[in-house]
């Protein structure tokens, strides 16, 4: 007996009330806790967005300063955590696989690990947000034979990440571009990785377990893993003049073009609007406008041929490339930001918890007779 209509991919299924963020897919609107993403991208900072997502309102100056300091205090690792980074940075492990294990490893030294109170989970949220950025930057420096760098308490998260990665003070445009990228990626409704985090939290498992589930889910090419693949595509195409034919050939082979399409948006992803501008500015800054121009050409062809729109991953690829960020760090950077949304969603889940446990429509056989192994042919 079929229980109900199967909704493949849970499309259109509503599983919880949430005030974290809301998407109007028809009109390309995204809001975080009531505030339009365009206002936040233009006027806010990542630190302020953390407060907004975890508290449901914008901070006063004193509250902002407190959050800034609390995050800054967590941008450091203990000896075991440094050993862990050094061990894996010198292996062939992909940085996203490293980060998934790193989040789980961070639980071992977290003094609040099994405390599921709201206050303890906020403390863990700061630790995870601060340490993930340090670990991603250190991983890259160590694998390139460089020493990791200490964060600077007076700088914000975005500027510190670029400093810890590159070892030079980022200029204003780069630092702001990274801050905007962190703001734009911080939350996005019940996306796959957020849902994974909430499913884990709903068993009343600990926050580190929930975030580990989320990082593993973000890693896939249909979700956060698409940004690296967009850049691989641009590099493979190589020249703007080749873009149209390359896309037409890929579509003829029924391949997906990475960075296009979305389960909810039926128009331009509002986050892509900002990343498109950043891509243009940053590509111009390094005198390599072809990555931006190629992206525009691909957009034109994919939209014309398939009616699809770019998602957040499309223009972030050329933006990060123009900032000199290694391709395999694009998805870890996504995770460094989305961790804030995952934590906020887990806070909501713990506050109004019910086990998340859907059913499947069973399509296998029934009533088979068990035959002992020595009698099977």
Return residues touching ligand ACO (CB under 6 A). 9, 191, 222-224, 226, 256-263, 306, 308, 311-313
At its nearest, how many Å lie between ligand ACO and the CB of residue 329? 16
Nearest CB to ligand ACO, comparing residues 9 and 287: 9
Closest CA to 341 of 105, 87, 23, 39: 23
- Closest CB to ligand ACO: residue number: 261
262 is catalytic: yes
Task: Pick between residue 54 and residue 265 the one whose CB is nearest to ligand ACO.
Answer: 265
- Smallest separation, CB 192 to ligand ACO (Å): 7
Q: Which of these is catalytic: 188, 208, 223, 345?
A: 223
Out of 157, 185, 188, 262, the active site residue is 262
With beta carbons less than 8 A apart as the criterion, state whether 198 and 174 touch: no
Nearest to 278 by CA among 236, 322, 240: 322
Catalytic, 313? Answer yes
Closer of 170 and 310 to ligand ACO (Cβ): 310
Give the Å distances, CA to CA, from 325 to 217, 361, 367. Answer: 22, 45, 57
Supply the minimum distance, in Å, between the C-beta of residue 67 and ligand ACO. 25
CB of 299 to ligand ACO, least distance (A): 12
CB of 263 to ligand ACO, least distance (A): 4
Q: What are the residues facing 347 on neighbouring strands?
A: none
Residue 223 a catalytic site member = yes
Question: Measured from the CB of residue 291, what is the shortest distance to ligand ACO in angstroms?
Answer: 17
Nearer to ligand ACO, 157 or 262 (CB): 262
Residue given tokens 């690829």 in the structure block? 317
Which residue number, 134 or 250, has a Cβ lying nearer to ligand ACO?
250
Minimal distance, residue 259 CB to ligand ACO, in Å:
5
Using alpha carbons, select from 247, 364, 243, 360 the residue that is nearest to residue 306: 247
- Nearer CB in complex with ligand ACO: 10/149: 10
Q: Is the dihedral of CA 134, 137, 138, 139 positive or negative?
A: positive
CA atoms within 13 A of residue 48's CA, in its CB half-sphere: 17
85 or 340: CB nearest ligand ACO: 340
Q: Any idea which residues carry the catalytic annotation?
A: 223, 262, 313
């Amino acid at each position: 007996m079929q229980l109900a209509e199967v909704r493949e991919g849970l499309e259109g299924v509503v599983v919880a009330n949430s005030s974290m963020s809301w998407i109007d897919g028809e009109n390309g609107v995204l809001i975080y806790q009531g505030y339009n993403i365009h206002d936040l991208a233009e006027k806010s900072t990542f630190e302020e967005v953390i407060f907004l997502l975890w508290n449901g309102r914008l901070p006063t100056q004193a509250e902002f300063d407190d959050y800034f300091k609390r995050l800054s205090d967590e941008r450091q690792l203990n000896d075991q955590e440094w050993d862990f980074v050094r061990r894996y940075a010198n292996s062939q492990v992909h940085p996203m696989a490293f980060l998934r294990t790193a989040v789980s490893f961070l639980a071992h030294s977290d003094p609040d690990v099994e405390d599921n109170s709201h206050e303890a989970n906020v403390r863990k949220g700061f630790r995870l947000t601060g340490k993930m950025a340090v670990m991603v930057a250190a991983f890259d420096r160590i694998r390139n034979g460089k020493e990791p760098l200490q964060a600077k308490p007076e700088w914000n998260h975005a500027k510190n990440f670029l400093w810890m990665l590159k070892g030079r003070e980022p200029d204003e445009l780069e630092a702001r571009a990274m801050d905007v990228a962190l703001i734009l990626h911080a939350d996005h409704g019940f996306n796959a990785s957020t849902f994974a985090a909430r499913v884990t939290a709903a068993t009343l498992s600990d926050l580190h377990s929930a975030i580990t589930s989320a990082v593993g889910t973000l890693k896939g090419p249909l979700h956060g893993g698409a940004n690296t693949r967009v850049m691989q595509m641009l590099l493979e195409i190589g020249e703007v003049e080749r873009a149209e034919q390359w896309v037409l050939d890929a579509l003829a082979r029924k391949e997906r073009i990475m960075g296009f399409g979305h389960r909810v948006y039926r128009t331009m992803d509002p986050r892509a609007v900002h990343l498109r501008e950043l891509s243009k500015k940053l590509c111009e800054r390094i005198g390599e406008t072809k990555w931006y121009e190629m992206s525009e050409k691909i957009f034109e062809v994919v939209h014309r041929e398939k009616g699809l729109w770019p998602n957040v991953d499309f223009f972030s690829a050329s933006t990060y490339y123009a900032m000199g960020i290694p391709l395999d760090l694009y998805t870890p950077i996504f995770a460094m930001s989305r961790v804030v949304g995952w934590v906020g969603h887990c806070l909501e889940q713990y506050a109004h918890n019910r086990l998340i446990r859907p059913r499947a429509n069973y399509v296998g056989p029934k009533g088979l007779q068990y035959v002992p192994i020595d009698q099977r042919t």
